[in-house]
């Protein structure tokens, strides 16, 4: 009987050691480590492709260079008279001298008394007949007085006039405006539009009896500039005299009647 009690006591102690309360008192060593999936940084979204056009960025379109339209206009040299009316106010027509001579009339003069609402051409706006570049702007020098020369390359000349003038390669059309009442309103090298104001009609220059506009047209080598042009003046510099003779008598600049531009243009 005593042996049976000892056996039961030992069994009771053994079961008490294995109870849940005893397990909870044990501090287990952490065994968790991050998995491979948790340590990976999420990959960025794939770049847009042509298969997903809605996600593509729309860039700024490259501007297309504007192509200038060919010129179609010839402007009157006088602001208050249309090209069609010029023939009515020609006071001295073109009278070409023999080649190499400086006499007679290399251009055409416009003047009048009591034409329309004006008593005379004095003070009337003088404007460029074509677009181009200022090749000369000269103040109060003989014989032209205050004057402007504009160079117009062939590409700025209306097609009908190009066909008529037949300007050789490497040449331009030059037009001169003389006897302006004041110093030119433009400067050498300046770009000029058709109809742009150059000055006002007057009577400056050599032996000018009445206010008028003297207009000359010539065909000559391209890209020529005149920084002075003087004759009939003992104070003229050699360069000024050379420029005058080059323009008037050398044959390098071939003059023609300016009125053919206005009477033969559609």
Torsion of the alpha carbons at 141, 143, 147 and 148, rounded to the nearest 10: -110
Taken in order of first residue, the domains within the chain and their CATH numbers are: 83-263 (2.70.70.10)
Specify the pTM.
0.73
pLDDT of residue 264: 77
CA distance 192 to 152: 9
CA distance 29 to 266: 107
Nearest by Cα to 174 from 127, 106, 222: 222
Nearest by Cα to 161 from 170, 176, 172: 172
pLDDT per residue, tens digit, the chain (266 aa), is: 445 454 445 444 444 444 444 434 434 444 434 334 434 444 555 544 444 444 334 344 444 444 445 566 899 999 999 999 999 999 999 998 888 788 888 999 999 987 777 889 999 999 999 999 999 999 999 999 999 999 999 999 999 999 999 999 999 999 999 999 999 999 999 999 999 999 999 999 988 889 999 999 999 999 999 999 999 888 899 999 999 999 999 999 999 999 999 987 65
Query: Could you report how far apart the first and last alpha carbons of the chain are, in Å?
Result: 149
Give me Rg for the CA atoms of the chain. 47
CA distance 163 to 54: 55
């Amino acid at each position: 009987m005593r042996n049976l009690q000892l056996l039961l006591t030992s069994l009771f102690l053994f079961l008490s050691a294995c109870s849940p309360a005893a397990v909870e008192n044990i501090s287990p060593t952490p065994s968790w480590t991050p998995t491979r999936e948790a340590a990976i940084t999420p990959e960025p979204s794939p770049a847009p492709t042509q298969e997903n056009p809605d996600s593509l960025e729309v860039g700024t379109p490259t501007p297309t260079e504007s192509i200038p339209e060919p010129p179609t206009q010839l402007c009157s040299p006088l602001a208050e008279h249309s090209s069609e009316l010029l023939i009515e106010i020609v006071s001295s027509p073109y009278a070409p001298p023999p080649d190499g001579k400086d006499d007679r009339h290399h251009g055409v003069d416009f003047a009048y008394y009591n034409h329309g609402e004006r008593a005379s051409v004095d003070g009337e706006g003088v404007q460029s007949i074509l677009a181009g570049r200022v090749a000369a702007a000269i103040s109060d020098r003989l014989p032209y007085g205050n004057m402007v020369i504009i160079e117009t390359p062939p590409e700025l000349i209306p097609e009908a006039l190009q066909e008529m003038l037949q300007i050789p390669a490497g040449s331009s059309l030059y037009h001169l405006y003389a006897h302006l009442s004041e110093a030119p309103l433009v400067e050498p090298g300046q770009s000029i539009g058709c109809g742009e104001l150059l000055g006002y009609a007057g009577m400056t220059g050599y032996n000018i009896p009445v206010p008028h506009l003297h207009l000359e047209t010539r065909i000559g080598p391209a890209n020529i500039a005149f920084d002075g042009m003087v004759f009939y003046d003992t104070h003229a510099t050699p360069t000024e005299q050379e420029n005058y003779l080059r323009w008037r008598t050398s044959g390098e600049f071939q003059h023609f009647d300016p009125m053919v531009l206005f009477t033969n243009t559609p």
